[in-house]
A and B are shown apart, each in its own frame.
Chain A
Amino acid sequence: MPEPAVPQGKRVAIEARGIVKEFGQGAGSLRALDNVSVAIRENEFFTLLGPSGCGKTTLLRMIAGFEFPTEGAILLNGEDIAGLPPFKRPINTVFQSYALFPHLTVWENVAFGLQMLGRPKAEIASRVAAMLKLVRMEELAQRRTDQISGGQGQRVALARALAPSPKVLLLDEPLSALDYKLRKEMQIELKRMQHETGITFVFVTHDQEEALTMSDRIAVMSKGRVLQIGAPTDIYDKPADRFVADFIGESNFLPATLLSLSSGVARVKLASGAEIPATVAEGLVPRESVTIVVRPEHARAVREGGQVSGRVENVVYFGTDTHIHVALAGGGTFIVRQQNSRNGVAGFQVGDAAGIEIAADAAQVLRD
Chain B
Amino acid sequence: MGSAADAARRAESETTRRRWLLSAPALVIIFVAAIGPLFVMLAYSFMTKGDYGDVKPIFSLDGWFSVLLQRDIFDDTLSLADANLIIMWRSLSLSAITTAATLILGFPTAYFIATRPRETREMWVFLVTIPFWTNLLIRTFAMQQVIRNEGILNSLLMWLRVINEPLPIMYTDWAVLFGMVYVYLPLMVLPLYASMEKLDFRLVEAGYDLYAGRLAVLRRVIIPLVKPGIVAGSILVFIPSLGAYVIPRVLGGGKTMMLGNLIELQFGAGRNWPLGAAMSITLMAVVMIALLFYVRNAARAGGGHG
Contacts and interface: CB of A to CB of B under 8 A. Distances in A.
Given A87-B213, A95-B202, A116-B216, A101 B221 contact: yes
Nearest to B305: A103
A97 B209 contact: no
A117 B203 CA distance: 18
B2 interface: no
Most buried by B among A92, A97, A104, A116: A116
A355 interface: no
Contacts of A95: 202, 205-206
A164 interface: yes
Interface string A81-110: 000011110011101010111111000000
A247 interface: no
B211 A101 contact: no
Contacts of A117: 211
A49 interface: no
Contacts of A161: 209-210
Interface residues of A, number: 25
A85 B211 CA distance: 9
Contacts of A99: 200, 202-203, 205-206
B210 A160 contact: yes
A164 B210 CA distance: 8
Contact of A113 (B200, B205, B211, B303): B211
B253 interface: no
Nearest to A96: B202
A113 B225 contact: no
B212 interface: yes
Given A93-B209, A113-B211, A102 B202 contact: no
B57 interface: no
Nearest to B227: A103
A199 to B, nearest CB: 15
Nearest to B205: A66
B227 to A, nearest CB: 8
A243 interface: no
Contacts of B205: 66, 86, 95, 99
24 contacts: A65-B208, A66-B208, A86-B209, A87-B208, A87-B210, A87-B211, A87-B212, A91-B209, A93-B209, A95-B205, A99-B200, A99-B206, A101-B203, A101-B206, A101-B207, A102-B305, A103-B224, A103-B302, A112-B212, A112-B220, A113-B210, A116-B210, A116-B220, A164-B211
Given A101-B221, A102-B305, 10 more contacts: A64-B209, A85-B208, A91-B209, A95-B206, A102-B203, A104-B303, A112-B210, A116-B212, A116-B216, A164-B211
Interface of B: 200, 202-203, 205-213, 216, 220-221, 224-225, 302-303, 305
Ranked 6 nearest A-B pairs via Cβ: A113-B210, A99-B206, A116-B211, A86-B208, A99-B202, A103-B224
